[in-house]
Chain A
Amino acid sequence: MKHGKRSFIIIIIYGLFVAFSFILDFHPGREIGSNFGDFTLTMLRIVPAAFIVISLFEVWVKRETVEKHLGTGSGPLAYFWAVLLSSTTVGGIYVAFPLSYTLYKKGARLSVIFTYLSSAAITRIPMSIFEASLLGIKFTAIRFMVSLPLVILVSILLEKYLLRRGFTMSHPDKLPASTAK
């Protein structure tokens, strides 16, 4: 685990830097430390709940259901479901990755997964309402109308390319594959 070791070293160095910044009252280091605290709290407010919801989805939603609506046999409506699902994403795209992994294990096709992932970044409902109220509805409407068709197009092309390369999605844990059922 060469990579894991590197991450570990980076985290240790960072921790020491911040700790010494507080001891020596080094302003930039203190500010970075407090940024870290703020953002960690934001993450803790969202991420654990998101993982629980995703796991409930994984346990309760049947593989056949996902395959039928989001799998290779599904029609264009699958992209609509992907966009609709993405609009309910809370937090950020970092929450969309674990769900996309569950969808992948349940048999959703890659183009639908990529559509979900990319539109999770652009269609989140609270964020879009906020944006429209500050920059205008026209602004948000154009953003949607231009980006969504492109996202779907790119996702389809990406699927074609990746299937040729034998792409598989993974997760950094040692969970037995049996839980996919």
Chain B
Amino acid sequence: MKSSIARIVELHSRSFGVPAHERIVLPNGLTLLIVPRRELPLVAFQLLLRGGALGDPVGRAGVASLTAGLLDKGAGERDAAAFAHSVEGAGGSFAASAGPECISVSGQFLAHDQELMLELLADAVMAPRFAAAEFARQRLRQIGHIRSLKDSDPSELLSQYGRGLLFRDHPYGQPATGGEDSLQAITLRDVIAYHRAHIGADGAALVLAGDIDAAWLKVQVTRRFGAWGPAAAALPAVAPTVKLRRRRVLLVDAPGSAQSYFWLGATGLDRAYPRRAALDLVNSLFGGRFTSLLNTELRIRTGLSYGAGSGFTRGRVAGEFAIRSYAETRHTVRAIDLALKTLAGLKRAGISQAMLDSARSYVVGQYPMNLETAADWAAQLAELELYGLDAGYIEGYGPALRRASLQDAREVIDQAFPLGRQLALVVIGDAAQVRARLERYGPVQQLALAAGSFT
């Protein structure tokens, strides 16, 4: 086996290009990107509306999320049922959801239905009906969704608890999905006010990718979206987040839980962080691939857990770095200690050249499969628009991965990976079994899993 790492990197540098596309800004501020790709008779769209949960009023976490959920529940000439029939009758898909910093509306249609697709999309964002009965149903469903996760997959809620503990009153500490109590407090008036204040052409970026005719599409988009006005309010500001100086511990009591599901998080980095390539390399070594240090310790070497991993959420300001894993209740402390020890080991000993080279091959080798389809590109280009980044973010990534040195890795480890005292720890588990043993990590706050809030 001769294939050297350098050769593989060379071979794939062509993957770090951005496909040919057009970018125009309509007079009303709507940014439009068109990416023709003709392999299959499909067209994907991704519409990003800046603001997201940052626009949620205090105490009403979930307004953006409810607004997003209601966009297709009746719009323009169609009520909710007619809208669903139009989408699905054409074999299309249409989904909207809110994240911390934007509402994302995305979907895919067969190519010959793209006119219908544009009509539905324009109606959904410009003329949603917000009918009272649909609002009541949607709110109930979103509350029910959280409760059903608590019954059948509580680990899916770790990051909501974790961000609440780490960022508290900062907007990043509010769950974008809302909590059960905060959703209950939201009224239809909140949703209508959110739509007026935060959804408008000036904050929107629309990417259309697939089997399309660019000239025809530009005319159609201008016709459908040209009259869309601006959002009434300015883009919500977001203050910087800060690092913890003392550890925080939250125990979410799930009586009878067979395992403890845990999250160790700290304030991390923002989207503009310049050492992105080195960061991805180090995180893939620490908790981003199967042989990562974390998975090696918690799964491969000890058999404590089915899995362990880590990742960075980078927003307009620094989001979180988080480690996630789980273990049988009686091994809770052993597993958390092992995760902490692995992090401390990374901070102390760093990584070797051989590890860096392996990570480089891995990140480069996997990259093309993350941007394979028209829908992948629609999502990627929309994300660049959201954070004001250009094609250089992608085109520069390959060369930056190639250049990243041990010194870069060392700096990333020092800057981005937290010290033990800067961590917030969330454990979802059986308090009767684990509470006393968690005191060693710091003063323990306790919340019932059934409680209606994540903090």
A and B pair up:
no
